[in-house]
Structure 1
Amino acid sequence: MNLADMLSYADIGQLSRIATTYRCECNGHSKNELIQSILQAVGRREVFEAQIGSMKLEDLRFMNSLLFDPRDAFSLEELIARVQQSKFGDVQPVPESSAHPTAQAKDAKTKRTGTKRTKAAKNQPIPETGPRETISRFKQYGWLFNGFTGPNRYLFQLPADLKIRFRETLERKFSAQLSYADDDPQAYRDEQQLLGSDVSEMLTFIYQNEVQLTSEGAMYKRGVLQIIDRLGVRELLPARGEWRFGYGRRMKEYPNRMSFIYDYCYFNGWISETGLVLSLTSEGMKRQAELRPEQPDKLYRFWLRLYKNAIPNLRSLVHWIDKLSTRWVSADSLKHALTPFIKPYYYDNAETIFEQRLSGMMLHLGLIRIGEHHELGRVIRMTPLGRAVIAGLNLEDEEAIVLD
């Protein structure tokens, strides 16, 4: 639903709070006048952008986490979790029992003295704090609405038309920070279709060879190097003692791209680690016999699922790279614009996540090209395949992929 529809379902109390936030001058007892005044205020671009410009960074992160989510409704628990994820410091969730320490202290004093609280004190509202205060503030702006129930719970909605306006406003904000190239780079790297072909190549190698495993279930170095030699992209082995976790079950033992291919085959049930030997399952034998590349959209969806624990807002970051890289853009300026929205993950800081986990893997997935420009240095641009995949187009028919 759009904002106008949600306002029509809101009660006059909520409408009055929203109207007060936007300083609307109207008859506060007329629901129709309240709705029209709010729509006029929110509809003014300068008012809307001023509200966005005055938001704290953690509020922008919270809003950004909702903009590209395909769902249209969220539970209170989900919103609270997203508010907490938007605080990049060591913020611990506040237990419900300790959310209002002042009130708790008063209750304790009442119990000790044995005095009764007055009726007025009982009815006095306790102000919201923490994540609930953020959600309450977004409701006062008319950006979140609640009131309809799912399975035994209240759900919150973000108006569909405001979602679009938020995206457009943030896109202008990000674009103002970017440096775009006027011409093509001297050279660029493009890995479209390579990853899908290498999935088939790994299955063929395992089919043709007896691959021995260590007691921990990893391939020996020789086997890893043999597979790397057959893949379309050469990678270096991980350095000894390097901390590598959070991006797949075999990230510790294998290079980034190869570990992704291995995990993809494993989670699809095509390979089996049994008896210290890596072999194909019956389903893997059928898949290997087809000798066809894996579809890019399937690899992309698996990547989102595999990396989302380490990068909770991965989907929104990918969408921003898609929107901001329709032409060659400086990688450094794009990184500078997006790193405030990337939460560090243990030993990976925001810059490392952008360079290796985002742009590096998007290159391997064929979603972007990376080039070297004589003025801007490293530059990035979306591929036609990348735009189609992120837009959610069905790529089962390979002939439907239009390349430059």
Structure 2
Amino acid sequence: MRLSECLNHASISTLQAIAQNLQLSCTMYSKLDLVQSILESLRNPLSLAEQLDQWHEEWGVSLRRIALHRRNVFAKEEIEHLLASAGHDTVNGLQKALAQGWLFLQNDSSRRRYYIVPKDIQMALRDDFQRRWRAQVRVRTDDPLVQVDEGMAALHDLHTLLQYVQQREVRLTASGAMYKRHVQQLMELFEVEESIELPQWRFGYGRRTYDYPDRLALLYDFAYDEGIVIERQDERLTVDPARLSDFLTLGRKTQLRRLLQFYVRTYRRPIPRLYDIMETIRLLADVWTSNTSLYAICAPQIQAFYYDQPTDVWDQRVVKMLVHLGVARIGYDDDSGERWFQITKLGQELLTQDEADLPDELTYQQAALVVQPNFEIVVMVPDARMEAQIAEFAELKSSGALRVYRILDRTVERGLSLGRDFEAWRALLATRGMAPIPVNVDRMLAEWVGRGGVQAAGLGS
């Protein structure tokens, strides 16, 4: 809906509040006069610019997120959450936004309430943010001396991974990961090679982020999520021929777009504002843009994640992965330490397609813990009720800055003997986790439950 439609559907009291806020001289009891006066004011470029400045100052990051969102219709809980991030309480925040004329209350046929930001107002907000940001970023008109553009390499290497598994006998460790020799052979076959030496702490960025380098982990997790690769119970890795055939019948850009969608779904757990970051990049980086100045624009949307500082999240989880996916390229000159960033033509196509729409952020807000392969549960977001449920089948190991619980055979046995609901507990780990439950943990839990949790399986008691 556009502004004119929203005003026509609005109540007389809402129109009066908007007119008073805009300080309009009109007949306050004539709906027609109110609608026409408000439209005339907000369609006047000078008046609208003045209002945008006021809204920008009052709502800040909340307005930014609304401007960048592809939807303009929000549930009551969503809009309350967005407004709360600007420091407004629920009631006063909603009343203020409604009185300013950029948010409108609507009811559907079932009388369910939802809120609309008029499409033309949302576009004006987006254009205003883009104008402000363009004044802050540094750009260049010539090409950097050295450029890194991986194009379709991720897709080629995904096909190589699938062919490798299809043509060889790939054995898995007890935790369900490929042995290092397989990983090394894949690196020799891939167009883009990665170091297979991994830091000690790795979690949150996918199912196999514990075991493989970032790019390989993404390709492998995608193939697993699509049901193409199967981790068999006899510790072998195989390919489902039917799923593989279905995937290969898709166009190359469609395949890559699905990989990009998977990346955003996976990385949005540790980076909740990833969608906003990518939209900001899409609006600004159509030309060579200073990586440093682009990061400064996106920084308010980036938070540290465990051992990853905000700059690490930007460099390793956003920039590097977008380059791997062919969405962006980076460039630099020999005589300068500055890196330059640009969305590729392929990236513009992938990011502007409707198919790239993803579930909304609220889907991911509940991610609050990490289950590690060593049977420890790291609580990332304090939640007393959640921790009480975790403690039903685990014990508290550490209560420092991050609370850590440990799963043992005896803690599982204790929970079962007390009549606790194990399936509900496991579902909690799956739904609140920033990554799936590691395969070795899932298997051992099933074994303990099946035999009553009698033995320790070398984990200690």
- Range class of TM-score, shorter chain: 0.7 to 0.9
In 1: Cα distance, 2:323 partner to 2:224 partner: 22
CA contact (8 A) 1:75 1:153 kept: no
Inter-CA distance 160–191: structure 2 relative to 1 (3 Å threshold): same
Alignment match, 2:140: 181
1:381 partner letter: Q
In 2: Cα distance, 1:376 partner to 1:24 partner: 54
2:115 partner letter: F
* Match status 1:255 vs 2:213: yes
Residue 246 (structure 1) aligned to one of 204, 217, 241? 204
Identity of aligned residues (%): 30
In 2: Cα distance, 1:293 partner to 1:204 partner: 16
SS in 2 for 1:269: coil
SS in 1 for 2:139: coil
Within 5 Å, which residues of 2 pair with 1:290-301?
295-301=255-261
Inter-CA distance 28–291: structure 2 relative to 1 (3 Å threshold): closer
CA contact (8 A) 2:17 2:99 kept: yes
CA contact (8 A) 1:200 1:292 kept: no
Q: TM-score, normalised by structure 2?
A: 0.70
Alignment match, 1:363: 323
1:219 partner letter: M
1:303 partner letter: Y
Alignment match, 2:339: 378
Shift of 1:212: 1.9
Shift of 1:43: 2.6
Q: TM-score, normalised by structure 1?
A: 0.79
Which segment drifts farther, 63-72 or 134-143? 63-72
In 2: Cα distance, 1:70 partner to 1:232 partner: 35
Which segment drifts farther, 348-357 or 322-331? 348-357
CA contact (8 A) 1:178 1:333 kept: yes
In 2: Cα distance, 1:293 partner to 1:60 partner: 40
Alignment match, 1:41: 41
Unaligned runs of 5+ in 1: 92-128, 396-404
SS in 1 for 2:316: helix
Alignment match, 2:11: 11
SS in 2 for 1:29: coil
Alignment match, 2:153: 194
CA contact (8 A) 1:362 1:368 kept: yes
In 1: Cα distance, 2:95 partner to 2:305 partner: 29
Inter-CA distance 238–283: structure 2 relative to 1 (3 Å threshold): farther
Query: Relative contact order, CA 8 A, sep 6+: which one is greater?
Result: 1
CA contact (8 A) 1:73 1:155 kept: yes
Alignment match, 2:310: 350
In 1: Cα distance, 2:66 partner to 2:7 partner: 20
In 1: Cα distance, 2:64 partner to 2:248 partner: 44
Shift of 1:381: 1.1
CA contact (8 A) 2:68 2:280 kept: no
Alignment match, 2:95: 136
In 1: Cα distance, 2:58 partner to 2:224 partner: 37
CA contact (8 A) 1:265 1:271 kept: yes
2:176 partner letter: G
CA contact (8 A) 1:197 1:292 kept: no
In 1: Cα distance, 2:124 partner to 2:270 partner: 29
Alignment match, 1:213: 172
